[in-house]
Structure 1
């Protein structure tokens, strides 16, 4: 956890450019020259239309092993760890970062029980675990996210879409991450489930200063976390603001409020 103390901010992007390779083998820039800062305990929402590069940015900052995605310019630090060439620190990066990928709830491993899915961030790192303590931790997360405690023995295909999304959220919070990166956080969630998820994130921010990066155009999530706003279009930052209602557009682009959370 020393890196947490050494890092001045949770995330620092400096002229960051990201390319994605196509099936043909050529690569196109999906993020081009992005500068952004996420302070410890803060929240930042990355908004914009489909194809703006939001998901690619989230995946790189989370340290996700996504084929074809690479940093081709600039760099970003996540809790002081460079995403471009993290080396041995990559394991620390993914330990400190909870990542909810887009569609994560729909892609839960079908052969694992809910308890095994949520426990995976721990069991995949070490075979020596206290099974009783792990079960208690899973039960606490289920309760926190308003899921029935008996769900732990069920399989993902037995759950509703909203339940699967909350199981995916629980898995990404299992290690009490210092940075939580969520792509389409509120997918398939009803009102009470949304409140439970937002409350869980706020509790961690207050308890130990967890920082949150949201990707998507859900206004309720942005406002619920008091997030600052970064708007992307075609991989470029075109607007920034302290909230969705206070956005400053770049002087060389025409303001388009359809790009902001609705």
Structure 2
């Protein structure tokens, strides 16, 4: 399967300097992404789930190149994006759908201008009439009328604006789209429509997705594989069905068991206690230990590495439940 890897993060890190001393040297550093390794294969959806502030969006923006990485490697089709020629191709073929459909579209531009912008930047459809036909085709592909091209973002609902954002992401015929909580600002009924449309587009275009959300059930619905992040660390990774129905890490079990359940007799594990610590003052050893019912002295002293415990399944826990029991 190695030959099908489209994008790969190898020990990717992103730090932010919060405070400097009087000499301008970093004094307080926030470690937002901590040596995360993750691959996205051609045609697959990798879901990334975790509570707000766990580093999901920062990881995606660093992987895309919107933030400069602090360490590690980013590979596109096996080649480092540190090479300028590779980065140029990477930026064109990997696009992003942003969380907020209200702030991600320029209110001063028409829909035609918004979707045309990447086409103009890359010298595609240089003729205005040809470009307008392309914009209208993209709008119809995301279930909007071609007449919407001459309107402004404020004239649309949140779901319609997000469709415009998706059309813009599709304009350059990308191979992969990073979806940064693309439905969290939308009504539930609209969320279902957007997700179903993304799945249809994936089938029609052979797209890969990195789908980021804090809702494990939604991530499970759309993803082939799921990664779970906590305080900048990837703590579990595996096939979507396995991670959702048979989680190995205590934090993944917390996410699953915090969901509303229709069956009042369903078995629930002992919930984790307390609040997520500040990333500026992360616990020693395992970052989840202050909330984990299994934590002991070893967890305080040693951060568990992400290890393969069965084919395709990885967990970073000294006492994570293995699939064989």
TM-score bucket (shorter structure): 0.7 to 0.9
1:120-159 paired onto structure 2 within 5 Å = 120-126=117-123, 129-159=126-156
Whole-Å separation in 1 of the counterparts to 2:156 and 2:13: 39
Q: Is 1:21 matched up with 2:17?
A: yes
Contact 2:119 2:125 in 1 (8 A): no
Partner of 1:239: 236
- Provide the secondary structure at the position in 1 that maps to 2:12: strand
1:58-99 C-alpha deviation (Å, 9 max, x unpaired): 1122222xxxx432222121333434x242432211101011
1:85-96 paired onto structure 2 within 5 Å = 85-96=82-93
1:179-220 C-alpha deviation (Å, 9 max, x unpaired): 111101113434664455334433443344321101112456
Partner of 2:72: 74
Whole-Å separation in 1 of the counterparts to 2:199 and 2:245: 22
1:151-190 paired onto structure 2 within 5 Å = 151-190=148-187
Cα 1:127–1:231 shift into 2, 3 Å: closer
- Provide the secondary structure at the position in 1 that maps to 2:103: helix
Partner of 2:105: 108
Unaligned 5+ runs, structure 2: 260-325
Whole-Å separation in 2 of the counterparts to 1:124 and 1:221: 34
Partner of 2:255: 259
Cα 1:174–1:184 shift into 2, 3 Å: same
Cα 1:38–1:142 shift into 2, 3 Å: same
Whole-Å separation in 1 of the counterparts to 2:223 and 2:158: 27
- Give 1:13 shift: 1.7
Whole-Å separation in 1 of the counterparts to 2:80 and 2:156: 38
Larger relative contact order (Cα-Cα within 8 Å, sequence gap ≥ 6):
1
Cα 1:23–1:227 shift into 2, 3 Å: farther
- Provide the secondary structure at the position in 2 that maps to 1:99: strand
- Give 1:168 shift: 1.0
Cα 1:159–1:247 shift into 2, 3 Å: same
- Provide the secondary structure at the position in 2 that maps to 1:75: strand
Partner of 1:38: 40
| TM norm structure 2 | 0.68
Cα 1:127–1:204 shift into 2, 3 Å: closer
Whole-Å separation in 2 of the counterparts to 1:207 and 1:149: 20
Larger Rg: 2
Unaligned 5+ runs, structure 1: 1-5
Contact 1:162 1:187 in 2 (8 A): no
How many equivalent residue pairs? 249
- Give 1:160 shift: 2.1
RMSD over equivalenced CA pairs, Å: 2.7
| TM norm structure 1 | 0.82
- Give 1:173 shift: 1.3
